[in-house]
Amino acid sequence: MSMHRNGYAPRPLHLAALPLLFALAGGASAQPAPRLAEGEFDCLMDAAQRVKLGASVTGLIRSVQVNRGDVVRQGQVVAQLAAEVEEANLALARVRAENDAPVASAEQRAEYAERRAGRLQRLRASSAVSEREYDEAATEARVAALTLRDAQMNLQAARAELLRAEEQVAQRRILSPVDGIVVERHLAAGEYFHEQAQLLTLAQIDPIHVEVFLPVSYFGQVKPGDVATVLPEAPVGGAHPAEVSVVDRVMDAASGTFGVRLRLPNPDLALPAGLRCRIRFRAPS
């Protein structure tokens, strides 16, 4: 290496350029992150959930009231299993639960036995009746009271049996657990429904879930509760407000994105699921 005339060696050219490179790198890192509210992103409108509907009991299907494409509401009866035996048991349980005659009869006997025992107790004080007669009357009064209690318990048990019979009949009615659409009907009237079978597939579309994947550079700019505008593709169209419900905290390293889910109200079920869309996030107020 040649020495400078003043006695020191000059720095190599690549070392002399390092301050300039660091300055350029610092300027590049100082660039502001893109703003979420300035972009428009692809999204997908999907059903909130898909339900493979079954039942808690097995049996022959009496009727199915809905078909593919039908709109169903939560609590609506969509199918009925055969319930002749359960309905007969319900009628019998209702008769027993409404029969309070044994209780009324036991009450009358208990009241009479108590009055008789009271009269004999007063007569015993004047030695008008024997101790044996009084003891028999007092025992009869206690037995009558126990008989009344037994009749009351039997009536309570009959009413509990009525509730169980009503529940057994209710289990034969299959209800929709969601507001949605019938996607597929798997069984028909006359077929046997078993434990592993599925009667219907339902899609809940109120609300609709809007799924969007954003570049990681936007992470931190969106949070649950934020509002965005969803623009469904043709022929649906329109602009619909949706609220952010989920922001993923695990990134997809391969694509450099993270997922965001929005909740789009659809009370009249007018918007379909499975539709592509565009989404615009609103700037925070």
Within a 10 A sphere around the Cβ of 222, how many other Cβ atoms? 20
Asked if the structure places residue 95 within a domain, the reply is yes
Residues 196 and 208 placed together within one structural domain of the fold: no
Dist CA 183 CA 52 (whole Å): 10
Encode pLDDT of 114-139 as tens digits: 998 888 888 888 878 888 888 888 99
150 part of a folded domain? yes
- Residue 205 carries which side chain, given as an amino acid letter? I
pTM as predicted = 0.66
- Mark whether 108 and 233 lie in a shared domain: no
Q: Token pair for residue 48?
A: 């909130």
Tell me which residue range forms the domain holding 190.
54-83+173-200
Query: Total domain count for the chain?
Result: 3
Q: Are residues 93 and 147 in the same domain?
A: yes
Domain end position, chosen among 129, 153, 170: 170
Give the contacts of 94 (CB within 8 A, at least 6 positions apart). 162, 165
User: Residues with Cβ < 8 Å from 281, sequence gap 6 or more?
Assistant: 36, 37, 39, 221, 222, 226, 228
Same domain as 61, residue 177: yes
| Local structure of residue 210 (DSSP, 8 states) | E
Q: Over the chain, what is the mean pLDDT?
A: 87
Q: Is residue 213 domain-resident?
A: yes
Do 126 and 72 fall within a single domain? no
**Domain end among 170, 188, 217:** 170
Judge whether 206 and 48 are in contact, CB under 8 Å.
yes
pLDDT at 12 over 60: no
Is residue 268 domain-resident? yes
> Cα–Cα distance between 147 and 204 in angstroms, integer?
56
Tell me, what CATH number does 240's domain have? Answer: 2.40.30.170
**Is 244:224 a contact under the CB 8 Å cutoff?**
yes
Inside any domain, residue 63: yes
Residue 210 and residue 276 in one domain: yes
Pairwise CA distance, residues 251 & 31, whole Å: 23
Q: Both 253 and 214 in a single domain?
A: yes
Instruction: Clarify whether residues 91 and 149 are in a common domain.
Output: yes
Query: Does residue 25 sit within a domain?
Result: no
CA distance 93 to 102: 16
Whether residue 251 is contained in a domain is answered as yes
Looking at the fold, whether 190 and 59 belong to one and the same domain comes out as yes
CB 55 within 8 A of CB 180: no
pLDDT tens, position by position, 157-190? 999 999 999 999 999 999 999 988 999 999 999 9
Reported as a single tens digit per residue, the pLDDT across 50-108 is: 999 998 899 999 999 999 999 999 999 999 999 999 999 999 999 999 999 999 999 99
In this structure, the answer to whether residues 148 and 277 fall within a common structural domain is: no
| 90 and 140 co-located in one domain | yes
Q: Which residues pair with 190 in a beta bridge?
A: none
Biggest CA-to-CA distance, the chain: 151
Q: Answer whether residue 43 is part of any domain.
A: yes
